Structure 1
Amino acid sequence: MRRHPSTLPAVLLTSAAALYLGLPAEALLGFPLDPTRSYLSELAASDQPSSMVFRGLDLLAGALVLLACAVMFRRLHTTSDGLRTAMLASLALFGIGTMADVLFPMACAPSADARCAAADAAGTLGPAHLVHTAASASALAAASAVAAILLIMVARAARGLPTALGPSPSPRRSVAVTVVTVLVLVTSITVTALSLSGSATGVLPAGGGVVQRVQTMTICLMLTGVPHWLRPAKRPTAAGPSADDSVAYVGFLALTALTLSVAGAVTFLAILLSSA
């Protein structure tokens, strides 16, 4: 019988990927910043008109990733599957880092303001900006860890060893996992190198913004693929959704409503303050 992905984690992670991508919202806003030299996260900087939009998108994306991880953790029979547990833990850290990104946004957009870029290079933009930098680096490292663990699973499966990908994953699935995870790792390493090379000026080199957006797309592909690539930790029963699924669905709806309410309230407050 053909194996289907667990529905709830697939819905949660696909929704998270759609929100985290950011490129559609950037295009709809007419690319407020130069996409060849700016980070996507600069659009969420405190001094940007688009700040609340992108902070809301990333906050909800990180929350959905965490909720998906919680569902998948609850469905584990045991923690003896070390690689699966490590991958889910790394994925959860990615969600936490993404949420911390927006709770501590950049103070300003270095690519749009020379004074901001100089202050960023000098490290004088304040503690919140430093926390944002650390959170971004942590989220990037966590996403890279997820990709690396998936690659290890592919290598183990090729040797006939048991993995969360199944005892004998199809060549198509193995190729898909390999291509996406290698792209995540290559683009992550490239973005890190470009960030270091531009640290003296506080701005990405020309073309760095494009690479960072490609990196974001590959991470989104990985998020979407994870629930399809992994074999279910539990065999589904004919009795219908489990209690865990029902609780998770309620949690998903409540979390979505809460996040949208908070984002809306903050946006309304920002509008009031700006017009005062």
Structure 2
Amino acid sequence: MAVAALLILGAVGYASWLLEFVVDTGIDPLRGFASELAAADQPYGFWFRTGDLVTGCVVAVAGVLGSARYSQGWVTTVGWLALIMFALATIADSRLPMSCAATNDPVCAAREAAGHLPLTHDLHAVTSASASTGGVVSSLAFVLAAFRYGWPTWLKIAGVAVATAFVGGTIWTLTAAGLRGEQDAWLGLGQRVQLLAFCGWLIFVALSVIHVTAKSDGST
């Protein structure tokens, strides 16, 4: 069905950062922000920004269709709306890229320390935080729905596992970002765990549409 297909396509688009293991980006995957792959001055930035843009667009459409057709009640409605929030923030994220990569560019790092980076860096931080917030709320809402509405056991287990990995990756990323300059907490690895887990989350929501909510045909 269309909604599930769009969510899976969104997961593929959101995994575009995996291309960093194929091309030489110069960004350290253990310590560099994944967003730096899409920085305006990076050689492959256009492709990574396009991946985020495609993800945001298709997930936004999936979220609107899903909320209209496959909501089982207020819990799943919250989940769909949070997914739409993630999608819109991801679109904005792709249109407001960092200008440079501070973790591998000393000049950019010096400008960051001096507070001389363009406003887009601050706006990018806001859109990224909004996308993460939407993702966390969506994951918690759909996991709650899995137990509240008696979804199959395998789907409950998968939902809890993926949501735990995503929320854990988010906490890791936020903690590591707060420790920047004081302690090396492998920020890049934490963020990539977060991103990979959310790709899995989009697939989980697609499976929930196929195996559960589609059968209710929009009942509340």
After TM superposition, the structure 1 = structure 2 runs for residues 54-69 of structure 1, keeping only pairs within 5 Å, are 54-69=48-63
List 4+ stretches of structure 1 deviating above 3 A: 233-236
Aligned residue in 1 for 2:159: 177
Q: Displacement of 1:109 after TM fit? A: 0.3
Which of 46, 52, 76 aligns to 2:40? It is 46
The match for 1:82 is: 74
| TM-score normalised according to structure 2 size | 0.89
Q: Hey, what's the Cα distance between the residues in 2 that align with 1:194 and 1:43? A: 18
Q: What's the counterpart of residue 204 of structure 2?
A: 225
How far off is 1:193 after superposition?
0.5
Q: Indicate the RMSD between aligned Cα atoms, in angstroms.
A: 2.0
Q: Is the 8 A contact 1:44 1:51 kept in 2?
A: yes
In the TM superposition, residue 81 of structure 1 has moved relative to its aligned partner by 1.4
Q: Deviations over 1:163-216 (max 9, x none)?
A: 3xxxx3222111111111111111111110101111x57xx9352211211111
Match of 2:119 among 111, 127, 142: 127
Cα deviation for residue 80 of structure 1 reads 8.0
Counterpart-to-counterpart distance in 2, 1:215 and 1:113: 24
Q: Which amino acid aligns with 1:129?
A: H
Instruction: Sort the Cα spacing of 1:123 and 1:224 in 2 relative to 1 into closer, same or farther, 3 A.
Output: farther
Q: CA–CA distance in 2 between the matches of 1:89 and 1:122?
A: 38
146 and 121 in structure 1: CA distance in 2 versus 1, 3 angstrom threshold:
farther
Structure with more of its chain in helix, by fraction: 2
Letter in 1 for 2:171: I
Distance 1:129 1:169, change over 3 A: same
Q: Separation in 1 of the partners of 2:101 and 2:76?
A: 38
Asked if 1:96 is matched to 2:88, the reply is: yes
Q: Please name the residue that 2:173 is paired with.
A: 191
1:1-276 mapped onto 2 (5 Å cutoff): 7-76=1-70, 81-154=73-146, 157=147, 161=148, 163=149, 168-198=150-180, 200=181, 205=184, 207-230=186-209, 231-232=212-213
State the alpha-carbon separation in 1 of the partners of residues 113 and 215 from structure 2.
50
Q: Structure 2 CA distance, aligned partners of 1:225 and 1:149?
A: 13
Q: Distance in 2 between matches of 1:70 and 1:135?
A: 20
Which residue of structure 2 aligns with residue 253 of structure 1? none
Partners in 2 of 1:15 and 1:142 — Cα distance?
19
User: Residues 122 and 145 from structure 1, CA distance in 2 versus in 1: closer, same or farther, beyond 3 angstroms?
Assistant: farther
CA–CA distance in 1 between the matches of 2:74 and 2:120?
Answer: 35
Distance, in Å, in 1 between the alignment partners of 2:29 and 2:116 is: 25
Q: Which structure is larger by alpha-carbon Rg, 1 or 2?
A: 1
Distance 1:133 1:121 in 2: 16
Distance, in Å, in 1 between the alignment partners of 2:16 and 2:73 is 34
Aligned to 1:266: none
Query: What is the percentage of aligned positions where both structures have the same residue?
Result: 29
How many residues matched?
215
